Amino acid sequence: MSTNITHRNPEFPFRHLLGIEGLHPPHINYLLDLADEAVEVSRQVEKQKAVLRGRTQINLFFEASTRTQSSFELAGKRLGADVMNMAVEVSSLKKGETLIDTAATLNAMRPDLLVVRHSQAGAVHLLARKVGCAVVNAGDGAHEHPTQALLDALTIRRHKQDIGGLNVAICGDIRHSRVARSNILLLSTIGARVRLVAPSTLLPSGAHNMGVEVFTDMREGLKGADVVMMLRLQKERMSGAFIPSVREYFKYHGLDAGKLSYAKPDALVMHPGPMNRGVEIAAEIADGPQSVIREQVEMGVAIRMAVLEALAANLPA
């Protein structure tokens, strides 16, 4: 972590945002406060700030993504950066270029900010060591997805004021989820009580050592919850059979009105997207009055603006 420390911005003294791991409550609250301001900027007709003027941001996505990539693009543009999207799937990687070669090529283009998504845990950390610019992890394998956890926290805080003491149930395919991992780290750090709710085949191996409560029954897990966070069934990361059938999965682990009634009446329903309607969540719940799923998308742009702004303050002038 030592190479990640810098001293220009004392409130957020990091060169990169590689994960939630290593962040303390003041760093998290600093980003959430900045993001609250970014929401206001984004709701104006004139949506531009100049904090990244003259800076170059490259979005390097080794894995397909719509909402994360587009929200990083919008965030950079709203702060005045030149933003370029590099679609790696169709470029040199197919021709056998290694990650290190890619890093050297990127370095030669002199970006200031690099946003990276990769299917392998640790690939983003490796790149961060090889490039001269600030790196943001936009999702690495089943490891971390820090900006997703931050935007979830922002959404919760704007509804519930204080996250400390809230009961948050994270439900579904936790085993394959970087969103779950980053959320467990963030929510525990700022004092929420986290419960994991999943069939035992979809729980991560160390679930019982994560400082969380673990449930395999949805009704029990949702009892009295303030927030119900559903996760997508990540079929692309599964090998072998983790669930008997999609119908069975929905019956026992999909969020419908019956199961949601066990949570508090004002519980928030969340999902990072993309959703499998009728698999992990019923369509009428996804579109229902307790759902803040669309708001999460708006908060996604704001939190990415906050992260880019915080890291830019640490770039050499």
Smallest distance from ligand NCD to CB 110, Å:
28
Smallest distance from ligand NCD to CB 286, Å:
14
Asked whether position 102 contacts ligand NCD by CB under 6 A, the answer is: no
**Footprint of ligand NCD on 43-72 (CB under 6 A):** 67-68
β-bridge mates for residue 218, sequence order: none
23, 112, 272, 285: which one binds ligand NCD (CB under 6 A): 272
User: 55 vs 181, which CB is nearer to ligand NCD?
Assistant: 181
Asked whether position 273 contacts ligand NCD by CB under 6 A, the answer is: yes
Torsion 242-254-167-146 (CA) sign: positive
Residues belonging to the chain: 317
User: 179 vs 312, which CB is nearer to ligand NCD?
Assistant: 179
Smallest distance from ligand NCD to CB 174, Å:
11
User: 112 vs 301, which CB is nearer to ligand NCD?
Assistant: 301
> What's the Cα-to-Cα distance from 58 to each of 87, 112, 123, 194, rounded to whole Å?
10, 8, 16, 35
CB 232 within 8 A of CB 246: no
User: H helices of 60-177, where?
Assistant: 67-78, 99-108, 123-130, 146-160
Smallest distance from ligand NCD to CB 14, Å:
21
Smallest distance from ligand NCD to CB 143, Å:
10
**Footprint of ligand NCD on 207-236 (CB under 6 A):** 232, 234
Torsion 239-242-246-250 (CA) sign: negative
User: H helices of the chain, where?
Assistant: 25-43, 67-78, 99-108, 123-130, 146-160, 178-189, 218-222, 246-253, 257-260, 283-286, 293-312
Query: Roughly how many angstroms between the first and final C-alpha of the chain, as a whole number?
Result: 23
For ligand NCD, which residue has the nearest CB? 232
Asked whether position 178 contacts ligand NCD by CB under 6 A, the answer is: yes
CB 143 within 8 A of CB 24: no
How many helices (H) and strands (E) the chain has is answered by 11, 9
Asked whether position 271 contacts ligand NCD by CB under 6 A, the answer is: no
User: 55 vs 148, which CB is nearer to ligand NCD?
Assistant: 148
Q: Residues 147-166: x/- map of binding to ligand NCD (CB under 6 A)?
A: -x------------------
User: 55 vs 125, which CB is nearer to ligand NCD?
Assistant: 125
Q: Which of 148, 159, 175, 134 is nearest to 308 (CA)?
A: 134
Asked whether position 15 contacts ligand NCD by CB under 6 A, the answer is: no
Angle (nearest 5°) at CA 282 between 277 and 285: 120
Asked whether position 139 contacts ligand NCD by CB under 6 A, the answer is: yes
Q: Where along the sequence are the contacts to ligand NCD (CB under 6 A)?
A: 67-68, 139, 145, 148, 178-179, 232, 234, 272-273
